[in-house]
Chains A and B, each alone.
Chain A
Amino acid sequence: MGPLIPLDIIPEQWNNVIAVIIGMAFGFIMEGSGFSSSRKIVGLFYGYDFTVLRVFFTATVTTAIGLYYFSYLGWIDMSLVYIHPTYLTAAIVGGLIMGVGFVAGGYCPGTSLIGAAIGRIDGMVFTLGLMIGIFFFSEGFSIFEGLYNGGFMGYITITEYFNISSQLFIFLFTVVAVAAFYFTTLIRRRVKQVNY
């Protein structure tokens, strides 16, 4: 029965050791999939490389399907799993700002670390910029505070909000993902290739 640490099946002290091991696996796979290269990542937005979309959607779908099978089998108590809280305006505004950062910087925080780890200087500079951005935000917290707490809707899932079955939603999401994989290969054939 999981999750193991919140239920004290694995003692709390192991938490940090597990964090390092999970992080290593995460970093290894991300780097191996090409997430250390900013030009490869940004290909998604210009249609010459859809690796990010493929990896990202495959991962989301795999985890979601896995979690619900685990829940069905009684291996995991979904009520103990952390659900990212929904702050509607904060999520939208934050996401819009991050999108600009994504095309301008070519990385996101996770991938910039991976790029930095194998010596990409742009990755290191991005990480530094990230910290400066967080510093700006923290110093100007009084300005951002209303936005930060804007539109709180609780720890709600998309299926609770639209009142549909989670399993059905995951199935539809999987179909959409597979369709996206297919159509992006078509797009990629039509777009001028970029050598990087």
Chain B
Amino acid sequence: MSKVYIIFASLLILVAFGLVLLPDTEHEDQIPPEALLKEIMNQSRFLSADLIAARIIDEDPSIMLVDVRTAEAYNSYSLPGAINIPLKETLDEEWQPYLNQRGVDVVFFSNGDLFADQAWILCSRLGYKNLYVMEGGLNQWFTQIMQPTVPPDTSPNEDFDLYSFRKAASIYFGGGAPAQSTQDIKGENIQIIRREKKTATAGGC
């Protein structure tokens, strides 16, 4: 056994032991305020009710709806498949695995935008990814999906296609199907924009 090896081995163990002695650093995991502001200004987190309706109807497994209202409100009515994480429990340990997911889009909604957006900001500060907010919340959901209004006759065709989709969706979700059902449902022409799934850094071998 040569002396050099003994020296090197002791050195290695010493360096490794130094690691144990290091104080636990509280690394600022949260994103800096400037970056957060930039993300807040970016409106792409808002998903329209139509898009979400289409994804629910499609039974898209890569979407998770999170109702941030209180438990009572959730129990009286919520979107199909939504889970309930009341805003005040957003930071609770038990919910973190639901909110911090890879490859699943987490969509927050409340009655309007406000509470959902607050949950979005909290989770964004925690560094979670793939977070979205349902534009207009349940109020918009009702006016757009559940009780869609017939567009004026002068509207472009797309508006009528959208109306047909909403009417069909309304029936799907058990809403009051509107009385004026004279228009033919011309197939569901809404463009379902499928986002490319984000992949984490791919593995080694």
A–B: direct contact at CB < 8 Å: yes
Stretch of A45-53, A67-75, A137-145 on the interface side: A67-75
Residues B9-54 near A (CB distance < 8 A): 9, 12-13, 15-17, 19-20, 22, 25, 27, 29
The size of the chain A interface, using a CB distance under 8 A, is 28
Docked Cα-Cα span, A174 to B11, in Å, equals 11
Contact among A72, A80, A173, A174 with B22 in the assembled complex (CB-CB below 8 Å): A72
Q: Assuming A82-B203, A84-B204, A167-B20, is B12 touching A72 (CB within 8 A)?
A: no
- The yes or no answer to B4 lying at the interface (CB within 8 A) is no
Chain A residues contacting B29 (CB-CB under 8 Å) are 79
Distance to closest chain B CB from A50 (angstroms): 13
Q: Given the complex of chains A and B, what is the CA–CA distance between A85 and B204 in angstroms?
A: 11
B193 close to A (CB within 8 Å): no
Docked CA distance A61–B27 (Å): 23
Does A185 contact B19, Cβ atoms closer than 8 Å?
Answer: no
Q: Does A16 sit at the interface, judged by CB under 8 A?
A: no
Residues on A with C-beta less than 8 A from B102 are 155
**B window 76-103: CB within 8 A of A:** 102
Distance between A163 CB and nearest chain B CB, rounded to angstroms: 14
Q: Are B12 and A82 in contact (CB under 8 A)?
A: no
Question: Once the chains bind, are B9 and A178 in contact (CB under 8 Å)?
Answer: yes
Instruction: Report if B179 contacts A (CB, 8 A).
Output: no
Counting CB contacts under 8 A, is B7 at the interface?
no
- Is the Cβ of A72 less than 8 Å from the Cβ of B20? no
B contact residues, range: 20 to 34
A102 at the interface (CB under 8 A from B): no
Q: Which residue of B lies closest to A110 (CB)?
A: B205
A13 interface contact, C-beta 8 A: no
**Is A65's CB under 8 angstroms from B15's CB?**
yes
A19 within 8 A of B: no
Cα distance A74–B12 in the bound complex, in angstroms: 22
Q: What's the Cα separation between A84 and B127 when bound, in Å? A: 20
Given known contacts A79-B29, A178-B9, is B16 in contact with A170 (CB within 8 Å)? yes
A171 in complex: contacting residue of B1, B20, B127, B202, CB < 8 Å: B20
Q: How far apart are the CA atoms of A84 and B204 in the complex, in Å? A: 8
**Can you list 27 residue pairs at the A/B interface with Cβ under 8 Å?**
A61-B12, A65-B15, A65-B16, A69-B19, A72-B22, A72-B25, A74-B25, A79-B127, A80-B201, A82-B200, A82-B202, A82-B204, A84-B204, A155-B102, A165-B20, A167-B19, A167-B22, A170-B16, A171-B13, A171-B19, A174-B12, A174-B13, A174-B16, A175-B13, A178-B9, A181-B5, A182-B9
18 more CB-based (< 8 A) A-B contacts, given A85-B203, A181-B9: A65-B16, A71-B27, A72-B22, A82-B204, A84-B204, A109-B205, A167-B22, A168-B20, A170-B16, A170-B19, A171-B16, A171-B17, A171-B20, A174-B16, A175-B13, A178-B9, A178-B13, A181-B5
Chain A positions within 8 Å of B, measured between CB atoms, are: 6, 61, 65, 68-69, 71-72, 74, 79-82, 84-85, 109, 155, 165, 167-168, 170-171, 173-175, 178, 181-182, 185
